[in-house]
Amino acid sequence: MGNSVLLEAEGLVNGVRQADYGTALDNHNLIAAFWAIVFGHEVTPQQAALCMVLVKVAREMYVHKRDNLVDMAGYTEVINKIYEQIEELSKEEE
């Protein structure tokens, strides 16, 4: 049996990816801002991450690749981290 998809995703989200791209909230705020320009309306960082999950779903529907599954799991953790970071920021503002 191979390595766990979930463990691999966790390692990427909390290790390499965070070091490369910053916090989940910062990175997806930037992605959302760019997408908002294209779509002509506000996009939340949560929506941006959710759309990234859907990109991976579409790719998986075309052809199975383990990377798609790892990234789907990773983006769901990113969504969770975004909510946690927003909650932390709101507590700091109180």
Domain total for the chain?
A: 1
Task: Give the pLDDT confidence of 51-68 residue by residue, as tens digits.
Answer: 999 999 999 999 999 999
Q: What is the pTM of this model?
A: 0.88
In the predicted structure, residue 2 carries a pLDDT above the cut 70: no
Q: And the tokens for 50?
A: 């959710």
pLDDT of residue 50: 97
In this prediction, residue 3 carries a pLDDT of 85
Full residue range of the structural domain in which residue 57 is found:
5-93
Angle between helices 24-39 and 45-62 (to 10 degrees): 80
Within 10 angstroms of residue 34's Cβ, the number of other Cβ atoms is 11
Question: What confidence score (pLDDT) does residue 1 get?
Answer: 52
Q: Do 29 and 90 form a contact (C-beta atoms < 8 A)?
A: no
Q: How far is CA 84 from CA 1, 2, 18, 23, 78, in A?
A: 33, 31, 15, 11, 10
Query: What mean pLDDT is predicted for residues 28-55?
Result: 98
